[in-house]
Structure 1
Amino acid sequence: MELLNDMALFVEVAKARGFRGASEATGVPNSTLSRRIGALEKAIGLRLLHRTTRKVELTEAGQLYFERCKRIVDEARVAHEQLGDMLAQPVGVLRASLPVDFATIYMAPLIADFAAKYPGITFDFDLTPRQVDLVSEPFDVAIRMGEPESSNLIARPLAQLVTQLYASPMYLKRAGMPTQPADLAQHECLNILKASAWTLHRHKESVRVSTHSRFSINSVGLIRSLATLGMGIVLVPEKVVVDDLAAGRLVPVLPEWRGQATSVHALTETRLLPAKTQRFIEFLKERLAQV
């Protein structure tokens, strides 16, 4: 690579017929150009330039070497540009770790649209609730809900999903309709894992209510299904239950109150991303903002 750089500098000196013009064209100081060309001459064992106080001229060997160097440098420049274009194109295998329910409920139509837009990308998706290791495992990106746990990864925010309360008519007929947040303490509240409290907001008002449940679940999909079967009240984004609302399997509870927004992030090991990963993250951020 250093030899190719020296050849490129020699070409600029030969074209400019002097070190000053070449320095202006390349931004390399005169003294550095002179030293690099001298080292090049020593390396190949040929005198390439006649140096005088007024100008620089090519020797016979220098003219032959210039023609060959120019061809090599031009070919290298074209190859570099083609490689840059190739790297800028979103192609290749995109390996992503996705949360099961979020991918199924939110991302399936987005993935279909993205795949249609970028036919050069193939997909390897791993749907799992576990925290994959982006350093040791071959993933380009992990999409996660909630605040990122690891400060060693680059977290790019994609969306904030507002949550609301829902329950089935059969549950509300049996347990009664809550009329204020404090009433939730007397209800079966289906939480993610072992969450023991919900923070609810109404305009500028905020309240934290204790909750309890017989279930500890790490799946939003299962929580939604249990809610439709009359097992309790859920606090989830509307998109999760939109079909159940339309079918009457669930109805809003305390509709003036909203839960804490759930953040969605794209996690990567580095900020330097190939085009396929960068486009995927940008696409998700744009589309999830419309949710």
Structure 2
Amino acid sequence: MELLSYMRLFVEVARTKSFRGAAEALDMPNSTLSRHISELEKTIGLQLLHRSTRKVELTAAGEVYFKRCQGIVEEARIAHESLLDVVERPSGTLRVSMPVDLATGYLAPILSDFAKAYPLISFEFDLTPRRVDLQSDPFDLAIRIGAPPTTPSTLVARQIALLPRYLYASPDYLKAAAPLIHPDDLTNHVLCIGQAATSQGEVSRTLHRGEEVVNVMITSRFRMNSVGLSRALAIAGVGIAVLDTELAREDVAAGRLRRVLPEWSLAPVQVHAITDTRLLPARTRLFIDFIRARLS
């Protein structure tokens, strides 16, 4: 039991590359942590860490030991937490990274219901589209829109939703703009697009109507990584936004937006829950299943 405890301490130091940071995370004195790591090195007869006043680095032996210890410590933690499944009272802090548009547009009511269902779980949400490093950043999972990441190979992506997408514009914009009857007419319109364009400022959009498919190359002044901003610009009459029905529902009902080319749609966008392991503690597994069931 003492060796497993020392391994847990070593993993935290190796992850943070700092005795002070690890000591704060573990809520123990820095001197005590340093002493336990030294005792671990004496026990196995190898130096695991290079220590300096500025940083801590793994030795070659430490790299090998860290890779093995991570899995052992994680499995031990999950084995302990799995006991909570028996009484269906999962607890602890759930740390989730997710895009702000998805969180505010979709997940807020779902998060509220989940919190009510599992009152012993607390939450830390990081609302950002950046790709967090799940192996070094303190997150249990990341929720991301789009294709799942291919690297590193240890990541596990679980699809939790497919969000349909359509075109929306304000009535004022449509009054002043050119006629919009067919997807080819989009070349005469302003689109607020959410992906990188070519060096010429063009982006390709594919629209579907049953089995009919039309590809349109569009030039736009407005490119962004925020669905919320494109929605706001569409309401302001700047151009046409690509939105899903849920995010546009209230604005359509209030007359602020109108669906254009209503028979046509863009390919639905995937939403994934991404973790760095298949071995998930109860709170993480329950959270993923809860969101998948609600979004579906």
TM-score (norm: length of structure 2): 0.68
Match of residue 213, structure 1, among 216, 220, 244: 220
Q: How far apart are the structure 1 equivalents of 2:253 and 2:81?
A: 51
Q: Partners in 2 of 1:116 and 1:107 — Cα distance?
A: 14
Corresponding position of 1:50:
none
Contact 2:135 2:276 in 1 (8 A): yes
Match of 1:85 among 83, 86, 94: 83
- C-alpha contact 1:161 1:237 (8 A) present in aligned 2: yes
CA apart distance, 1:197:
1.4
Identity of aligned residues (%): 50
Q: Secondary structure at the match of 1:261?
A: strand
Q: 2:205 aligns with which of 183, 198, 206?
A: 198
Stretch of structure 1 that moved more, 166-175 or 86-95: 86-95
Shift of 1:243: 1.0
| Contact 2:82–2:282 under 8 Å retained in 1 | no
Q: Is the 8 A contact 1:90 1:275 kept in 2?
A: yes
1:3-28 residue CA offsets vs partner (Å, 9 max, x unmatched): xxxxxxxxxxxxxxxxxxxxxxxxxx
Provide the rounded CA distance (Å) in 2 between the counterparts of 1:174 and 1:165: 17
Q: What are the within-5 Å matches in structure 2 for residues 99-248 of structure 1?
A: 99-151=99-151, 152=153, 153-195=155-197, 196-248=203-255
Distance 1:103 1:84, change over 3 A: closer
Q: Supply the distance in 2 between the matched residues of 1:171 and 1:232 (Cα, whole angstroms).
A: 7
Q: Deviations over 1:33-55 (max 9, x none)?
A: xxxxxxxxxxxxxxxxxxxxxxx
* Contact persistence 1:95–1:139 (CA under 8 A): yes
Contact 1:110 1:287 in 2 (8 A): yes
| Residue 262 (structure 1) aligns with | 269
The Cα of 1:235 is off from its aligned counterpart by 1.5
Deviation at 1:82, TM superposition (A): 8.3
Task: For residue 176 of structure 1, report the CA deviation from its aligned partner.
Answer: 2.9
RMSD over aligned Cα, in angstroms? 1.6
Aligned residue for 2:105, secondary structure, equals: helix
Contact 2:204 2:218 in 1 (8 A): yes
- Identify if the C-alpha distance between structure 1 residues 83 and 130 changes in structure 2 by more than 3 Å, giving closer, same or farther: closer
Letter of the 1:130 counterpart? R
Contact 2:144-2:273 at 8 Å conserved across structures = yes
Indicate which of 278, 281, 290 corresponds to 2:285: 278
1:147-189 CA distances to partner (integer Å, 9 max, x unpaired)?
0123421000001111011100111111134100000011101
SS in 1 for 2:246: helix
Instruction: Please tell me whether the aligned partners of residues 167 and 260 of structure 2 are also in contact (alpha carbons under 8 angstroms).
Output: yes
- Kindly indicate whether the alpha-carbon contact (under 8 Å) linking 2:142 and 2:274 is maintained by their aligned counterparts in 1: yes
Q: Deviations over 1:96-155 (max 9, x none)?
A: 001010100000000000000000100000001111110110100000000012342100
CA contact (8 A) 1:177 1:253 kept: no
Change (3 A) 1:122 1:83: closer
* Matched residue count: 210
Q: CA deviation at 1:85?
A: 2.0
Identify unmatched segments of 5+ residues in structure 2. Answer: 2-78, 198-202
Structure 1 alignment gaps of length 5 or more? 2-80
4+ runs of 1 displaced by more than 4 Å? 81-84
1:162 aligned counterpart, secondary structure: strand
Letter in structure 2 aligned against 1:173: K
Alignment-mate amino acid for residue 176 of structure 1: A
Measure the CA separation in 1 of the matches of 2:295 and 2:231.
Answer: 21
The residue identity in structure 2 corresponding to 1:136 is S
User: How much has 1:90 moved relative to structure 2?
Assistant: 2.1
